[in-house]
Chains A and B, each alone.
Chain A
Amino acid sequence: MSAELRARVLAAATAEPSPTRAAVRRRNMLIGMVAAASGIGAFVIFAVLMSESHLLRLGGEVVPQQRLERPVWLVVATVGGALGVAATGVWLALGRGRSMLGRSPRWLLYGGVLIPVSLLVWKVSCSLAFGDAMVAWPDRPGERCLSLSLLVAVGPLLSFLAIRRHAPVQPALNGAAIGFAAGACAWVAADLWCPVAYVPHLLLGHVLPLFVLAGAGALLGRTLLSLRHR
């Protein structure tokens, strides 16, 4: 192997400054703050301006003359559990374990199954324990929660992709895991705002966005995380 080739590679590296670990950590913290701000901002805009001026909805009219209240402890329990799942999802999607190549496909697939299932099971089981929050709300099929979730998740999705930067192996699968993580974060916002725990509503308004975001994450991951596009 020639000394000329060595000199050429070293010169190319010198000519192109790259961030050190400390610089990357600072950049990632900044992107994380942008993700949180964009998610919270989107949630506030949606909840205050686009709907009925409620950041936290504790109840509403199921049908005319029938009103249902959501206890604060139910909100605390469901949001707390969702926060835990969202934190786990972010750890799974952005953490790479002890390898530069990220988590194994098996772990990512487990995450893709367990995140939606655990969020739904937690929400339903808490709602069952707290009484009759699971009645059908004919006026609320779930399309507003769907749009809220997607709106809230856009910022975190893009920010998480920027933090991950590249995945030499399985970029689409890593992107899908990031989509699930962003969706789990949006689930927390939807859970705060929405008092409905009727299962068809949950499937359309709360679970479907997770899969939409995972699909979008897979497509974006294939494009942005893959090395071939750099």
Chain B
Amino acid sequence: MERYARGDEAAFGALYDALAPRLLGFLRKATRDACAAEDLMQLTLLHMHRARGSFISGAPVSPWAFAIARRLMTDHARRRRVEQRLFSEARADDDRMAYEPTAATAAADDVLHARRLEVRLRQRIEALPELQRTAYWLLQQEGLSLKGAAEVLGTSVTAVKLRAHRAYVALRAVLREAGEPS
């Protein structure tokens, strides 16, 4: 990013390679819509491209990128809600196909149990309040530091710890109910 801010146009490719997979993963999980995730990832990188001149030397890039992605995602979700209200469109069920059974190679019961547990965990994560869910993703899935996640969420480190802790408690409860070690 430093090279790109100074005017090295070729550095954008390297920036893309470093950030795009992580951003896309984050956005896919958050939106559950591959097309929307790709669009939002592209918008995020274009925002960074437009703001390259204001990049602070030595500033961490990931929290900035995730903050932009999160902001755009929130706006996208809001717009989609408005559109759905306006046009009464039924929400597409993207998950349906993801859980079609495949050819079982292990014991059928184990596979079924794992699938059910995965579905329940996923449902529980999705049912978490947005702030807890994002704190969990940023820390657990994206590997951001507490400070980085706090910057992305515009809050304090303590608040991020609390939100992530609540998310962990909720997920542990699901595991306990399923008889798994938490």
Contact = CB atoms under 8 A, between A and B. Distances in A.
A20 B156 CA distance: 32
A67 interface: no
Interface stretch (B6-14, B98-106, B174-182): B6-14
A168 B63 CA distance: 11
A159 to B, nearest CB: 15
Chain B, interface residues (CB within 8 Å), range:
35 or more
A101 B53 contact: no
A121 interface: no
A47 B68 CA distance: 44
A168 B59 contact: no
A169 B151 CA distance: 8
Given A12-B42, A16-B49, A105-B154, A100 B64 contact: yes
Interface in B54-83: 54-56, 58-61, 63-64, 67-68, 70-72, 74-75, 78
B45 A9 contact: yes
A20 B155 CA distance: 30
A51 interface: no
B152 A101 contact: yes
Interface in B73-99: 74-75, 78
A99 B53 contact: no
B54 A24 contact: yes
Interface residues of A, number: 35
A168 B24 CA distance: 18
Contacts of A168: 64, 67-68, 70-71
- Which of A14, A20, A98 is packed against the most chain B CB atoms within 10 Å? A20
B21 interface: yes
Interface in B9-62: 9, 12-13, 16-17, 20-21, 24, 38, 41-42, 45-47, 49-56, 58-61
B75 A228 contact: yes
A173 B155 CA distance: 12
Contacts of B152: 101, 169
A113 interface: no
A2 to B, nearest CB: 9
Contact of B16 (A10, A100, A230): A10
Interface in A96-130: 96, 98-101, 104-106
Interface of B: 5-7, 9, 12-13, 16-17, 20-21, 24, 38, 41-42, 45-47, 49-56, 58-61, 63-64, 67-68, 70-72, 74-75, 78, 150-156
28 contacts: A1-B20, A6-B17, A9-B42, A9-B46, A10-B12, A10-B13, A10-B16, A18-B51, A18-B53, A20-B7, A20-B53, A21-B6, A21-B52, A21-B54, A22-B7, A24-B54, A96-B56, A99-B151, A100-B63, A101-B151, A101-B152, A104-B150, A104-B156, A105-B155, A105-B156, A168-B64, A168-B67, A230-B47
Given A101-B63, A227-B47, 16 more contacts: A5-B42, A9-B16, A9-B20, A9-B41, A10-B13, A16-B49, A20-B5, A21-B5, A21-B6, A21-B53, A21-B54, A99-B151, A101-B154, A168-B67, A168-B68, A227-B71
